Structure 1
Amino acid sequence: MALHVPKAPGFMSMLKEGARYFEGLEEAVFRNIEACAALSKTTRTTFGPAGQNKIVINHIGRQFVTNDAATILKELEVAHPAAKILVMATQQQEQEAGDGTNFVLQLAGSLLEQATDLLRMGLSVTQVTEGYELARTKALDTLDGNSCS
């Protein structure tokens, strides 16, 4: 008489209910980009001189109207690790310059959305990163050449 030994529970049984598991680096990169792009889209309408206000309700139920991206991000509970890095970048911008948080968020979101297209065309993450580094270097050289001292 053979004893029935149950199989060890798999990795999926260890995750919380509703959690999703993606295999492969490519899928993880696309999910990270999607999370950052979604965060960027939340404040896109507040950007610029014609930026619209948003009603924000924080975790204790307090309501306020603002078009300041720093305030909106401060009240959001961001859970995704990649999106948290984007929030930290905006916080650093606010600490150093006092403004421009929405610009940082929109620029990063746009660069990541464009990176998605490049990755789907077949470029590697390394190639996209190197291309962005070259573009940064070229932009800084152009700015240095156009500045008045």
Structure 2
Amino acid sequence: MRARLRRLFADGREFVWTSHIHHVAGDRDCHRCVRLRVWGAGKNSRVLEADLLSKAILPWGCATDNSYPTPGEVRKVIDHALAHGWDPGLVGGTFFLSEASAFELPDFLLTDRLRDEGAPDPTTRVFEAADAADQIP
């Protein structure tokens, strides 16, 4: 099955993006993670990659989580990456957005757990985000 490429126009430039749903294990739960990949200057340009960890706290964990980034959220990720050094015009390579940047969206956190099993526990981070927003059930 081919990846579905979506188009987004921002600041006079066309961006093409795709995303794939994954799951990451935490110490106490499983969480939905959406790997977002964005190109800003054709298929050979430097790709932006961000792993978006769902903040949803559901009784059955990732099995019932249907969180998915909207085009508006993708635009916010692009804007953040551009402000932090991503040059989509460069040829080759990948620009990773790391959870160290402390960037978050209303429904997502950045995570490194999909690329690095030693990254901080996603369950703890999801509960901390929910606690900060007073959403613990």
TM bucket, shorter chain: under 0.3
Greater percentage in helix: 1
Q: Which of 1 and 2 has higher RCO (CA within 8 Å, sep 6+)? A: 2
Pair member with larger Rg: 1
Which structure's residues are more often strand, by fraction? 2
Q: TM-score normalised to the size of structure 2? A: 0.28
